[in-house]
């Protein structure tokens, strides 16, 4: 919200404080200065002038010939294109030679043959506001013609402040002035609310008010004001309104807005003559809207209302949505001279609900929805009638209306001690010092020794407990005074979590050349379904209120996101795309229960050329990587079970199993999935679940003594079917059925004409050893037979003769 | 035969040795000088033996010196020629040592993970443990227990992704605070890193998904000073030893008092620059003393135990630290971007 320093100066001396210091003091007490604008006054040379003659220029549909009295001996002829002039209006006239803020230098001109000296100016032309249409109209009594505009409209400094949600009191100049007064340690002056003399018919003879739902409206104050003149608000007031971003709209509306921006109490004026056609008092009822009831708002939008929304019903007609917007029906117009002024307290939740349901936020609603004090309503009404009387010469009727069904007796004060405040802050705090700080913020404080009984000012509804008082004291004394310490207390003995196993897995992936990616866990349903090798057969969980279809479900796997990133990289011409991500997926049958959140690592390696052999090499490396990652597990490395995995190449895919559970999948992306992603070339992918088994840790590995007896080393050549997988063969060797077998590895895989296409050759290097003695060649024959038998069983191998 | 003649013989031999271009030529030279029968020096030696005894000592010394010089020169030249020969044959196996195998290149850590690791490292050093919680949270843990009431603006569908009436994507990692308090008695020192979600349309500083690190300390006699000291230690560890912090009052429903924490700009040292928007200070985290009501919800008696909490955004820190202007880059995963870290 924007604040005018001229306005703040009414309540606290701050005009002399440099901007930087103002910003620093406000920031230190919790109000952030986002921007400071230098707001210009009237440009030099421009004077006030009264329109003495006004006629249409012949043969023009919009130009006017005017003569204005600018304080000189003779009226001046000025041609003007604005349509809001009237004879007698007081307007700014820029004489020839004036340079306007836009840089235009004015002179004596002829327009369609008519002489025109200088120009009459709009607020925008003077740099005083945004309004370009219409000449700036001044209060007729503001000053004599010839008075420099700068005397009437001084320059201002405008602060744009960020007001936190708990401080609706600071959505007003008085509230910020109070903060400033405390921060600068200067006295606060309250605005003049002296009651004006009252005369005429009593308000209750004209208006009766009833509150049908006190929950939505704890207090309703109203005044009847008549004899309001049809003229603009004083220029200084217009200037302040413009400075804080509000457009002047006429005396009544401007006064209401002014009081709202000054005190934080929203006001609303109804045209009394329009809402009270007859002679009897009109009945004003604050009530819930009836379902389907419509109201045409001041913004020209017709809204259909629902019961929880509160309306102001005047004479049976819904005339305003409480705390949100007035209706056209009772709206004030230029000719309005009598009004019913509403200064009410509507409940925050009622206004917030209505605002949300109707999708409408207004100056009034942003204040009400944060919760305003009912004590503020009569103050707002009093300030309005004071200004209406003194600035507009209006008549204020006797018997102001004040219904306060939500009135509560004051609760007990908040009790704190200097000792407790100091203990919480971590520095010594003397009770009198705390009391002084609180009083500067208009808190009532009773001091008894170290004990303080504190009552916040009525508009500080945010202060209810001792911790709130602590904050007031802390921010007043300044946190820069608090010494920086570390909490140095004894903690019970325990274990220190080992530097996460997850980080070790991350290191393995990095070491294998994969770049770490972070992809968004929200995705599109089709994308989520594209590749989900580990997910149970449930659909992805939907977000009820997604930002768009691209992020409407929770992912089931890291892989689709990584593949999208790979495709995007490929589209940008990247040659090497090797990505991994460690993150959670979300698996559950529905959104009724919290889903399982497995921690996954997904890896994607893209082979741009699409070479099948290269893809096979990368795939093997990837398998080695994930099996290696799994090697950290207590159950040993996971078993690779070749087979079909949806979304993966039918002949190049495998599942990983550990401890009887499927923990991963690895393979080459199937053509279909690749095309859907617009990925050229081949891509190998893997996904491995990390939580539950891998990160759980396990017993430390146990060393065996390394035997020093000579080994019997033998190469075993066998013939196996062409599609035999190595895994089962190695598993068979590991099974312990070949005596003395210490190690085994494949040293050659080959095909040749003699084998034919249905078979391939394998040569294993087998190392046998007995730790106690040297094995003999004769024993070797038996061992070879045992190894052969095991292999034949596992993969249908037979012996290759004279290899 | 004179000593001078012997020296001259040696000089000739040395010149011939230096002139030998390969081991074969060197062998020819050797035989010519030191050959058992025809070697010039060998023969001179035989002559020395025939001279009258009074001449022999001087001639003998001159002979030994000449022979020593020749032998050393032969050995040196031979070594040199061998090394040259090896070098010539190795040249056929030349490897360009400045070429790195891209296949063996290490992958890059995501900048957000870099920051997360650094944060974790700092707080582990201060004795904190690391806690995690689910990303799909209940309304109760994400809002209610944290003192964010039913009609608080933060609970509007505007800001939160809902999955059902009660399930949502957590908007902060603060629910982990509550789960920790309910799971163990004080003292508590814990940080909770993780992914969080807000219904923000992406722009350079807002993302529907981002990370947060929440910290919580609960113990007897915890003060605002402890909060300040902890965060000062963090700021200096993270951004440099000369950093200062300042606490600015602010408002969060789950802390009272609440403060925003600024760190003095690590680019300009507080003088004012683009990174700090000429302010000299950069806002890095939100913090405060845990609200008594939140402590009670966590089963902690606020009369006995106090606490502080803080929350920071690794994306924001990464953007500041690494000069990333558009934070949306962080989830695009362009390898050109990732390779800068
Ligand atoms: Zn800077």
**What confidence tens digit (pLDDT) does each residue in A276-298 have?**
877 788 899 999 999 989 999 99
CA A453, CA B332: separation in Å to the nearest integer? Answer: 57
Q: How many residues does chain A have?
A: 803
Assess whether pLDDT exceeds 70 at residue A491: no
Share of chain A above pLDDT 70, in %: 96
Within A450-608, strands assigned E span 451-455, 515-516, 522-523, 553-554, 578-584, 599-607
Are the C-beta atoms of A758 and A679 separated by less than 8 Å?
no
Q: What is the pLDDT of residues A441-478, one digit of tens each?
A: 999 999 999 999 999 999 999 999 999 999 999 999 99
- For chain B, which residues make up each domain, given as ranges? 3-92, 111-338
pTM, two decimals, is 0.81
CA A98, CA A76: separation in Å to the nearest integer? Answer: 15
**Which token pair is B318?**
């990464």
A544 at the B interface (CB within 8 A)? yes
Q: Which of B167, B184, B333 to mutate to test the interface with A (most CBs of A within 10 A)?
A: B333
Question: What's the rounded mean pLDDT across residues A323-331?
Answer: 91
pLDDT of residue A698: 63
Cβ contacts below 8 Å, chain A against chain B, sum to: 225
Query: Among the listed ranges A126-130, A780-784, B173-177, which one has the minimum average pLDDT value?
Result: A126-130
Query: Among the listed ranges A116-125, A158-167, A501-510, A698-707, which one has the minimum average pLDDT value?
Result: A698-707
Would the CB atoms of B246 and A515 count as touching at under 8 Å? no
Q: Which of A24, A416, A518 to mutate to test the interface with B (most CBs of B within 10 A)?
A: A518
**Which token pair is A701?**
């590995």
Question: What's the rounded mean pLDDT across residues A648-659?
Answer: 91
pLDDT confidence band for B156 (50 / 70 / 90): low
pLDDT of residue B88: 86
Interface of A with B in 364-403 (CB under 8 A): 369
- What ipTM describes this predicted complex? 0.81
Question: What's the rounded mean pLDDT across residues A217-222?
Answer: 95
Phi-psi region at A776: left, alpha or beta (left = phi > 0; alpha = psi -120 to 50) = beta
pLDDT of residue A803: 45
Share of chain B above pLDDT 70, in %: 98
Q: How far is B219 from chain A (nearest CA, A)?
A: 8
A515 at the B interface (CB within 8 A)? yes
Residue of A nearest to B150 (CA): A349
Residue of B105, B107, B251 with shortest CB distance to A164 = B251
Are the C-beta atoms of A686 and A672 separated by less than 8 Å?
no
Are the C-beta atoms of A428 and A450 separated by less than 8 Å?
no
Question: What's the rounded mean pLDDT across residues A554-580?
Answer: 94
Count CB-CB contacts under 10 A for residue A414: 19
pLDDT of residue A518: 97
Question: What's the rounded mean pLDDT across residues A706-715?
Answer: 89
Assess whether pLDDT exceeds 70 at residue B337: yes
**Which token pair is A480?**
């820069």
For the four alpha carbons of A666, A672, A676 and A681, in that order, the dihedral sign comes to positive
Query: What is the 3-state secondary structure of A559-597?
Result: HHHHHHHHHHHHHCCCCCCEEEEEEECCECCCCCCCCEC
Are the C-beta atoms of A365 and A355 separated by less than 8 Å?
yes
Would the CB atoms of B225 and A541 count as touching at under 8 Å? no
pLDDT of residue B86: 87
Question: What's the rounded mean pLDDT across residues A630-644?
Answer: 78
Are the C-beta atoms of A747 and A715 separated by less than 8 Å?
yes
The torsion of the CA quartet A365, A366, A367, A372, rounded to 10 degrees, works out to 80
CA A113, CA A186: separation in Å to the nearest integer? Answer: 61
Q: What is the mean pLDDT of chain B?
A: 91
A39 at the B interface (CB within 8 A)? no
pLDDT confidence band for A495 (50 / 70 / 90): low
Residue of A28, A482, A597 with shortest CB distance to B224 = A482
Count CB-CB contacts under 10 A for residue A703: 6
Would the CB atoms of B332 and A578 count as touching at under 8 Å? no
Are the C-beta atoms of A802 and A756 separated by less than 8 Å?
no
Q: What is the pLDDT of residues A10-38, one digit of tens each?
A: 999 998 999 889 988 998 889 989 989 88
Share of chain B above pLDDT 90, in %: 61
Are the C-beta atoms of A640 and A727 separated by less than 8 Å?
yes
pLDDT of residue A696: 63
Q: Quick check: helix, strand or coil at residue B258?
A: strand
Query: Among the listed ranges A97-106, A434-443, A720-729, which one has the minimum average pLDDT value?
Result: A97-106
> Which CATH code fits B111-338?
3.30.930.10
Would the CB atoms of A487 and B163 count as touching at under 8 Å? no
CA A715, CA A784: separation in Å to the nearest integer? Answer: 10
Q: What is the mean pLDDT of chain A?
A: 89
pLDDT of residue A130: 65
Question: What's the rounded mean pLDDT across residues B171-199?
Answer: 94
Distance from the CA of A188 to the center of ligand 1, in angstroms?
36
Share of chain A above pLDDT 90, in %: 58
3-state DSSP helix/strand/coil % of chain B, to nearest 5 = 45, 20, 35
Assess whether pLDDT exceeds 80 at residue B158: no
A483 at the B interface (CB within 8 A)? yes
Distance from the CA of B325 to the center of ligand 1, in angstroms?
15
Angle at A341 between CA A338 and CA A342, to 5 degrees: 155
pLDDT of residue A492: 62
CA A311, CA A89: separation in Å to the nearest integer? Answer: 39
**Which token pair is A536?**
């149970």
Distance from the CA of A109 to the center of ligand 1, in angstroms?
52
Would the CB atoms of A165 and B153 count as touching at under 8 Å? yes
A703 at the B interface (CB within 8 A)? no
Would the CB atoms of A515 and B221 count as touching at under 8 Å? no
A357 at the B interface (CB within 8 A)? no
**Which token pair is B101?**
């195998």
Would the CB atoms of A500 and B130 count as touching at under 8 Å? yes
pLDDT higher for A490 or A483?
A483
Residue of B nearest to A540 (CA): B163
Would the CB atoms of A467 and B232 count as touching at under 8 Å? no
Question: What's the rounded mean pLDDT across residues B46-55?
Answer: 85
Assess whether pLDDT exceeds 70 at residue A525: yes
CA A405, CA A374: separation in Å to the nearest integer? Answer: 10
Assess whether pLDDT exceeds 90 at residue A704: no
Distance of CA B258 to the CA centre of its chain: 35
pLDDT of residue A108: 87
pLDDT confidence band for A140 (50 / 70 / 90): low
Would the CB atoms of A569 and B127 count as touching at under 8 Å? no
Residue of A nearest to B207 (CA): A520
Asked, as a colleague might, if the bond just before B187 is cis with ω within 30 of 0, I would say yes
Question: What's the rounded mean pLDDT across residues A111-120?
Answer: 89
Q: How far is A357 from chain B (nearest CA, A)?
A: 11
Q: Which residues contact A3 (CB under 8 A, 6 or more apart)?
A: A158, A159, A160, A161, A173, A176, A244
């Amino acid at each position: 919200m924007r604040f005018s320093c001229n306005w703040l100066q009414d309540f606290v001396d701050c005009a002399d404080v440099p901007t930087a210091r103002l910003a620093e003091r406000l920031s230190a007490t919790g109000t952030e200065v986002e921007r400071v604008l230098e707001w210009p006054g009237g440009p030099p040379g421009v004077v006030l002038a009264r329109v003495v003659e006004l006629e249409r220029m012949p043969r023009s549909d919009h130009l006017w010939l005017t003569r204005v009295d600018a304080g000189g001996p003779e009226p001046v002829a000025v041609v003007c294109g604005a349509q809001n002039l009237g004879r007698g209006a007081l307007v700014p006239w820029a004489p020839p030679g004036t340079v306007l803020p836009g840089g235009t230098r004015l002179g004596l001109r002829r327009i369609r043959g008519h002489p025109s000296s200088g120009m009459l100016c709009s607020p925008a032309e003077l740099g005083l506001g945004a309004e370009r249409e219409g000449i700036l109209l001044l209060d007729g009594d503001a000053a004599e013609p010839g008075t420099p505009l700068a005397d009437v409209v001084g320059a201002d400094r405008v602060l744009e402040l960020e007001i936190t949600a708990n401080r609706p009191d600071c959505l007003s100049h008085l509230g910020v002035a109070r903060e400033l007064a405390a921060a600068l340690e200067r006295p606060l002056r309250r605005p003049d609310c002296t009651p004006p003399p009252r005369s005429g018919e009593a308000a209750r003879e004209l208006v009766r008010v009833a509150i049908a739902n006190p929950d939505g409206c704890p207090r309703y104050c109203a005044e009847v004001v008549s004899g309001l003149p049809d003229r603009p608000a004083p220029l200084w007031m217009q200037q302040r309104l413009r400075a804080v971003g509000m457009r002047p709209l006429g005396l009544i509306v401007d006064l209401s807005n002014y009081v709202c921006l000054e005190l934080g109490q929203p006001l609303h004026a109804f045209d009394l003559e329009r809402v009270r056609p007859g002679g009897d008092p009109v009945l004003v009822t604050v009530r819930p809207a009836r379902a389907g009831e419509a109201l045409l708002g001041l913004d020209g939008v017709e809204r259909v209302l629902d019961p929880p929304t509160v309306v102001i019903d005047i004479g049976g007609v819904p005339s305003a949505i409480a705390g949100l917007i007035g209706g056209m029906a009772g709206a004030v117009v230029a000719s309005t001279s009598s009004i019913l002024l509403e200064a009410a307290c509507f409940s925050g939740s009622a206004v917030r609900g209505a605002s949300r349901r109707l999708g409408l936020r207004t100056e009034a609603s942003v204040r009400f929805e944060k919760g305003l004090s009912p004590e503020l309503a009569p103050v707002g009404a009093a300030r309005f009638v004071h200004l209406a009387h003194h600035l507009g010469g209006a008549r204020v009727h006797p018997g102001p209306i004040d219904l306060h069904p939500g009135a509560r007796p004051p609760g007990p004060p908040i009790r704190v001690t200097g000792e407790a405040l100091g203990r919480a802050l971590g520095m010594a705090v003397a009770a009198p010092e705390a009391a002084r700080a609180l009083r500067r913020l208009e808190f009532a404080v009773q001091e008894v020794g170290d004990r303080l009984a504190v009552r916040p000012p009525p508009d500080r509804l945010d202060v209810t407990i001792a911790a709130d008082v602590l904050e007031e004291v802390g921010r007043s004394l300044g946190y820069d005074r608090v010494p920086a310490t570390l909490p140095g207390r004894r903690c019970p003995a325990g274990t220190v979590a080992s530097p996460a196993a997850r980080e070790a897995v991350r290191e393995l992936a990095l070491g294998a050349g994969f770049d770490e990616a972070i992809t968004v866990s929200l995705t599109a349903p089709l994308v989520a379904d594209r590749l989900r090798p580990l997910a149970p057969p449930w659909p992805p969980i939907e977000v009820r209120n997604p930002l768009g279809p691209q992020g409407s479900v929770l992912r089931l796997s890291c892989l689709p996101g990584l593949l999208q990133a790979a495709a995007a990289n490929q589209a940008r011409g990247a040659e090497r795309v090797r990505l991994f991500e460690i993150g959670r997926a979300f698996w559950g049958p529905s959104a009724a229960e919290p889903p399982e959140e497995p921690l996954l690592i997904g890896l994607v390696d893209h082979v741009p050329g699409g070479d099948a052999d290269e893809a096979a090499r990368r795939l093997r490396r990837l398998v080695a990587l994930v099996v290696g990652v799994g090697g950290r597990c207590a159950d040993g490395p996971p078993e690779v079970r070749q087979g079909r995995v949806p979304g993966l190449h039918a002949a190049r895919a495998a599942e990983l199993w550990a401890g009887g559970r499927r923990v991963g999948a690895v393979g080459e992306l199937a053509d279909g999935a690749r095309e859907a992603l617009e990925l050229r070339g081949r891509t190998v992918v893997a996904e491995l679940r990390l939580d539950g088994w891998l990160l759980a840790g396990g017993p430390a590995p146990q060393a065996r003594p390394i035997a020093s007896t000579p080994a019997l080393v033998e190469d075993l050549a066998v013939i196996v079917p062409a599609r035999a997988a190595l895994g089962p063969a190695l598993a068979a060797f590991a099974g312990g059925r070949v005596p003395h077998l210490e190690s085994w590895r494949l040293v050659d895989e080959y095909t040749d004409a003699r084998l034919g296409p249905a078979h391939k050759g394998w040569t294993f290097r087998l190392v046998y050893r007995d730790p106690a003695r040297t094995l003999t060649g004769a024993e070797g024959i038996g061992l070879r037979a045992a190894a052969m038998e095991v292999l034949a069983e596992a993969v249908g191998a037979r012996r290759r003769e004279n290899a | 035969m004179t000593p001078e003649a012997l020296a001259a013989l040696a000089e000739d031999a040395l010149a011939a040795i230096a002139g030998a271009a390969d081991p074969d030529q060197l062998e020819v030279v050797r035989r010519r000088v030191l050959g058992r029968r025809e070697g010039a020096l060998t023969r001179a030696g035989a002559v020395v033996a025939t001279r009258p005894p009074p001449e022999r000592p001087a001639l003998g010394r001159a002979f030994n010196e000449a022979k020593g010089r020749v032998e050393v020169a032969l050995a040196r030249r031979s070594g040199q020629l061998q090394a040259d020969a090896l070098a010539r044959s190795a040249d056929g196996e030349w490897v360009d040592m400045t070429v790195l195998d891209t296949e063996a290149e290490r992958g890059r850590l995501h900048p957000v993970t870099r920051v997360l690791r650094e944060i974790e490292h700092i707080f582990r050093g201060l004795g904190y443990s690391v806690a995690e919680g689910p990303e799909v949270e209940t309304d109760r843990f994400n809002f209610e227990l944290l003192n964010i009431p039913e009609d608080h603006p933060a609970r509007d569908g505007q800001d939160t992704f809902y999955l059902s009436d009660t399930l949502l994507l957590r908007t902060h990692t603060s629910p982990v605070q509550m789960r920790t308090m309910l799971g163990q008695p004080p003292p508590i020192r814990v940080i909770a890193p993780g992914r969080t979600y807000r219904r923000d349309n992406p722009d350079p500083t807002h993302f529907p998904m981002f990370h947060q690190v929440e910290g919580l300390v609960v113990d007897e006699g915890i003060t605002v000073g402890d909060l300040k000291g902890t965060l000062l230690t963090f700021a200096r560890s993270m951004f440099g030893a000369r950093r200062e912090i300042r606490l600015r009052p602010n408002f969060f429903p789950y802390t009272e008092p609440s403060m925003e924490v600024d760190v003095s700009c690590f680019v300009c040292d507080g003088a004012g620059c683009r990174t700090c928007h000429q302010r000299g200070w950069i806002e890095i985290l939100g913090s405060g003393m845990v609200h008594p009501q939140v402590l009670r919800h966590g089963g902690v008696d606020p009369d006995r135990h106090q606490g502080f909490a803080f929350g920071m955004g690794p994306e924001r820190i990464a953007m500041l630290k690494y000069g990333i202007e558009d934070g949306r880059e962080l989830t695009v995963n362009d390898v050109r971007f990732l390779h800068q870290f």
